[in-house]
Structure 1
Amino acid sequence: MEQINAERPNKLYYSIKEVAQMMNVAESLLRYWETVFPSLKPKTNQNRVRQYTKKDIEQVRLIYN
């Protein structure tokens, strides 16, 4: 699994595509996990684009394991 801080150490939000690539899973699996695990709720912007924080990514890692 890719490190969170590898490219941009000061980055606040990651796209679903970036998180899916980090975890080596499909974007659809991340969207599914949001429906199953109430603790996984990434922020969404006006256009309903998911924005994952480092805390969200850690939650995804826990779910993945």
Structure 2
Amino acid sequence: MILKIRPETPPDYPAITEVNNLDFGQPAEGKLVETLRKNPKFVPELSLVAEVDGKIAGHILFFR
């Protein structure tokens, strides 16, 4: 198993939405992340994904 933590990229967005929706049990979480990305205070370097063997397995977003 290889774990890698890195900043998110646009191609990751669908997997991030899926992970957040599954983890929180509702589609509102994925939509919240999409909304936060549009906020002018969003810092892309503070939205990170965890990859396990090349697949998105987790997501964390730090926001003011």
Give TM-score, length-normalised by structure 1.
Answer: 0.36
Which structure ranks higher in relative contact order (CA pairs < 8 Å, sequence separation ≥ 6)?
2
Answer 1 or 2: which has greater strand percent: 2
